[in-house]
Structure 1
């Protein structure tokens, strides 16, 4: 049987730096297209693998994409400006990378080629109190980041032969680290500042370990026939937590951590929802890493990282 060849755009980023080695370990041939905009060398550990190749380039450039797509059985489009703050810093790049580059992929790919698309469960925006968001819940994104991802997902699922993963807020250590993600950020503050001031501490969201995101993609590839043409929430079902509850969990590991509600001001990120992950769990997928596992891991990681270059903003 011929090797399955996977093209991963943005494969040197936070998620790609964990996913690409996992794909290679599972026996896939992998080509990464990345602009290396953060000057990272996050895939240096897999360069010795003959089934790995890497191209420096822009996922929006169709002349770069075409020859790479010609060899691919499946595409995982990770290339994106991730997070509301980064998208707001460069709105044109956010739209052209997060949405338009995916529309180009949809147009250029043959019907037989598969797409496994990461999007964000931030598309749910502000949920109804006490009511779980499922994949059938109307999408009401409240940020440019959320809107571009919702539009890209719609195009991919309409085209078919695709799966989309609506990722919870990701946490955990990676070779291309991001300290700006909520759990990673709060643990960083707990380690170095021993304090955090919370805006809207009751706002809830769902969380997932980065290695469990990689496992979701491997699960999707292995079960593509039964999972295709649907979106799947990917998160920890026991971690629909408010910011305050998250801080309490962190304090159980770092007892000197102090957190309090800001008397004035507000969080620009208004997301507030709880999420059901029952659909992907029904396919046999289950996360392997708990929130507490991730907090312990991050505390160790931050003994090594002492600067602020490991973020998107």
Structure 2
């Protein structure tokens, strides 16, 4: 199968390239390498990898790939609320318009697997948010994701994954993600200043975030046209719970509650992942495993390229 991955040099994209090539697929990897990341070199000898440096907003630069692919995985994105608030017009161009334009090129037989975010649930109340729960996106980033999901699902041969907050090691690291950020602070300074620790989130290892695409391709007739929450069910927890888990890995960690500060990210929800689990998908990486992995990685420090801002 020919798989077109935009944002292929990103945090999850690099994991996807690994998995798709290992599964025998032909991968068309597109990225603008805006963060100067040096990744994917371990696949350069593989004739099934095609690599192109291009702007996803320039449809002409990859329209030939769009026309020949069997599946489009549009990962190219300004990811996260801060960077989208800082660059709202660019965020709309990349996160929304580039995908809408791509859909116009595709035939009805080509598959689209859209990476949504469960941050679209905003503040979910006490009950578990499932795929039928109302969407109340709080940030520009989440609002664009919700808008784009509607466009994608308007075509028959598509599906949407509403991803939990990712964590874990990848070739192109991100330190702005909550688990990664907290773990870095624990390793670097030994202290986490916690704002509104009762806010609840769901988490997912980046490898499992990539594996679910392969699962969907292998079960397309069963899953097409639908929405799936994708998260680690054992990692529905408060921010304070997360800090306690990190403390098991970094025992000297000091957790300081700051009652006067407010979390700029107001998301607060618990998520049901039952629907994706009923298709036979299960996560391989637990939160403790991911934290242990991050501890090893962070011993090496970090570079200025490991930024998403």
State the TM-score bracket (shorter-chain normalisation): over 0.9
Aligned-partner SS, 1:118: strand
Aligned-partner SS, 2:123: coil
Aligned positions of 1:92-241 closer than 5 A? 92-129=89-126, 131-241=127-237
Q: Structure 1 residue runs of 4+, over 4 Å off?
A: none
Shift of 1:308: 4.4
The CA deviation string for residues 247-284 of structure 1, in whole angstroms up to 9 with x for no partner, is 00000111100112113121110000000000000000
Aligned-partner SS, 2:228: strand
Superposition TM-score, scaled by structure 2 size: 0.98
Superposition TM-score, scaled by structure 1 size: 0.97
Aligned-partner SS, 1:98: helix
* Structure 2: tracts of 5 or more residues without a match: none
Change (3 A) 1:308 1:246: farther
Report the Cα distance in structure 2 between the residues aligned to 1:231 and 1:267, rounded to whole angstroms. Answer: 29
Which residue is equivalent to 1:47? Answer: 44
Shift of 1:167: 0.5
The CA deviation string for residues 215-246 of structure 1, in whole angstroms up to 9 with x for no partner, is 10110110011100011000011111111000
Report the Cα distance in structure 2 between the residues aligned to 1:247 and 1:185, rounded to whole angstroms. Answer: 11
Change (3 A) 1:308 1:251: farther
Which residue is equivalent to 1:256? Answer: 252
Change (3 A) 1:287 1:151: same
Find the partner of 1:72 among 69, 90, 107.
69
The CA deviation string for residues 195-229 of structure 1, in whole angstroms up to 9 with x for no partner, is 01111110000000001011101101100111000
Aligned-partner SS, 1:238: helix
1:287 and 2:287 matched:
no
CA contact (8 A) 2:37 2:305 kept: no
The CA deviation string for residues 57-116 of structure 1, in whole angstroms up to 9 with x for no partner, is 111112113111122111000000000011111100111111111111111111010001
Shift of 1:309: 3.1
CA contact (8 A) 2:100 2:148 kept: yes
1:38 and 2:35 matched:
yes
Report the Cα distance in structure 1 between the residues aligned to 2:102 and 2:96, rounded to whole angstroms. Answer: 10
CA contact (8 A) 2:117 2:164 kept: yes
Report the Cα distance in structure 1 between the residues aligned to 2:105 and 2:275, rounded to whole angstroms. Answer: 30
Shift of 1:188: 0.4
Which residue is equivalent to 1:63? Answer: 60
Report the Cα distance in structure 2 between the residues aligned to 1:151 and 1:43, rounded to whole angstroms. Answer: 31
- Alpha carbon RMSD of aligned pairs, Å? 0.9
Aligned positions, number: 309
Aligned-partner SS, 1:273: strand
* Structure 1: tracts of 5 or more residues without a match: none
CA contact (8 A) 2:14 2:172 kept: yes
The CA deviation string for residues 136-192 of structure 1, in whole angstroms up to 9 with x for no partner, is 001110000000111111111111201111110000001100011000000000011
